[in-house]
Amino acid sequence: MSQTLALDTLVTELDILIRARYPLISVATFEESRFRRLMNAVAHLPRHKAKGLFTWSRITGLRQLAGADPLLNPRPIPDTEDPFAVLDYISQAESGLFVLCDYGPYLAPFGQAEPQLVRRLRELAWTVKTRPVTVLFVDPAFPDLPALEKEVKRVDLPLPDEREVEALLDLHLARLAENPDVGLSVDERTREQLVQALLGLTESEIENALAKATIAQRGVGPTALPLILDEKRSVIRQSGALTYTHPEPADYLGGYAHLRQLLQEAAVTFTPAARAYGVEPMKGLLLVGLPGTGQDLTKKIASSILGRPLLDLDFGAVMGEGGGVIGSAAMSIKRALAIATTLKGILGVSEFEKAVGGLQSSARSDGGETARTIANLLNWMQEQQDVFVVATANDVRQLAPEQVRQGRFSQVVFVDLPTPQDRAAIFKVHLVKRGRDPQQFDLDGLARAAEGFSGAEIEAAVKAGLLDAFMDGARDVTTADILRRVRSIRPTSEVKREEIEELRRWAREHLAVDAGHPQPLTGERFIEF
């Protein structure tokens, strides 16, 4: 399969926009060379061939790359280096496809709109609307300017999909096959694994990862996979918004049987058989509860049960850059969502209420940048069908009803303090994780003593009991060791009774399901202090 064929869908989308006479199109991407190749394919379509393809940058000015006399291309257009001059030239053109690279900063230098240039661009849009002229801006982040909101059609260039990655991989392998000093050991299974490992990267990142693995391994084969995955994790970290997190075995989640059942149901909805039957994939879960009740662990468990990579989105940290979502921060969020969509993974959003909490004050604090980015996130959650979102929230007072409604999440799950049965199961999990036989311990007695404990506090008691036994001559740890530590811990539930009751009230009002039991939440389920 050729790489041109792999790009057919994108070429078609651009062709439709151009034929529909959108005068100004903004394409958000870091992959300028890939976009130029796309536009070259569009310019050579029979219906656009006579228009000509032009590119502009502040360094080179306007240059014609296609159309007119092919022998004269590329043809520089004199006196077009200035951002105003190039618009003047386009306004006189009878036809053409004009790609302006990194033009956005001139429209909003230092974050403030340049009024004369913005006005000139609006007039240009009205002037060329009736002509076969299209202006395409390619930038990592085109500025959000209210004055251009109706004139500029915004398009996000998606990351390479499986077909495109396959084409890039085949191209790389074909080059290596000509080198006798390089070894190739790529069967169909290895090729499939390499494609999956490279998904979520840009074209240049894919080429760099393959080149690095080739040099390190003196070829490409199964041993290249770990190197490529390490490179991918590094790239994802550099995005500034995502962290690639390892899954945890499903049996590491003690208790909370209904929550485990929901995750297993979610896994079924993503199977090809379920989709063929007409079952829609689950959107995700919003986990509401106290810190320490296993919400972050649930994200890792979900990764294991669904068999999908877990990407943690640190939305709050990125929003804090410069006091708001401005420029590179907003682009980081967009790219994070693009990576999650391409990987068809699990997106974890910790402290969801903080991620969407800047909505109300955005108009006053940053001109609405944060509000627009939050709206993009919520719209993405509503429309996407390939990513399972696991969000957690502690302070639900910051959440508006429209942010947690059906369509964005499949279920709102209240993770209460564990029941006696759940506490016994959690003690068992932490003993097994530390190489101890749980049958040698009085799990029921420990569960009774740990009334009001969260899962994190139970783990702390087990760890402290283990340390006591080690300090006492490295003897076998006993129930008494752990029990003594349990009695020395004052659980958070005693300190934050009002907050817990408020969480429970919110869960009842918003019809949240219980993480431990499938029946609706009632006052009888809750632990009394």
Structure confidence by residue, pLDDT tens digits, 115-156 = 999 999 999 999 999 999 999 999 988 888 889 988 999 988
Q: Are 414 and 393 in contact (CB under 8 A)?
A: no
Q: Is residue 459 part of a domain?
A: yes
Query: Does residue 467 form part of some domain?
Result: yes
Q: Tell me the CATH number at 335.
A: 3.40.50.300
Same domain for 177 and 254? no
**Domain span at residue 231?**
162-238
How far apart CA 65 and CA 73 sit, in angstroms, is 5
pTM, rounded to two decimals = 0.76
Same domain, 203 and 325: no
For 106-133, b/e burial (b = at least 16 CB within 10 A) is bbbeeeebbeebbebbbebbebbeeebb
Query: What distance in Å separates the CA atoms of residue 57 and residue 517, rounded to the nearest whole number?
Result: 61
* Residue 150 placed within a domain: yes
Residues paired with 313 in a beta bridge:
242, 349
205 and 146 in a common domain: no
**169 and 116 assigned to the same domain:** no
Residues ≥6 apart with Cβ < 8 Å to 14: 38, 39, 42, 155
Q: What are phi and psi of 478, to 5 degrees?
A: -125, 170
Contact 358, 346 (CB under 8 A): no
- Residue pair 289/295 in contact by the 8 Å Cβ criterion: yes
Q: What is the CATH number of the domain that holds 33?
A: 3.40.50
Question: Which of these, 529, 510, 528, lies nearest to 520 by C-alpha position?
Answer: 510
Q: Report yes or no: 327 and 321 within 8 Å, Cβ to Cβ.
A: no
pLDDT band at residue 365 using 50, 70 and 90 as cut-offs: low
The answer to whether residues 232 and 295 belong to one domain is no
Nearest alpha carbon to residue 289 among 263, 252, 311, 259:
259
Residue 207 sits in the same domain as residue 129: no
> Model confidence at 324, in pLDDT bands (50, 70, 90)?
very low
Q: Does any domain span residue 506?
A: no
For the chain, the domain total comes to 4
pLDDT on residue 73: 63
378/285 same-domain check? yes
User: Are 13 and 108 contained in the same domain?
Assistant: yes
- Is 529 inside a domain boundary? no
Domain boundary among 156, 175, 207: 156
7, 123: one domain: yes
In a domain, 507, yes or no: no
Residue-wise pLDDT for 407-465, tens only, equals 788 888 999 999 999 999 999 999 999 999 999 999 999 999 999 999 999 999 999 99
Q: Which residues pair with 23 in a beta bridge?
A: none
- Any domain includes 512: no
Does residue 124 sit in the same domain as residue 45? yes
Indicate which CATH number applies to the domain containing 465. 1.10.8.60
d(CA 146, CA 169): 42
User: Is residue 58 included in any domain, yes or no?
Assistant: yes
Listed residue (153, 160, 132) closest to 10, CA to CA: 160
CA distances from 371 to 109, 119, 324, 363, 407 (A): 21, 25, 10, 8, 20
Q: Are residues 189 and 254 in the same domain?
A: no
pLDDT, mean of residues 151-169: 89
Same domain, 354 and 368: yes
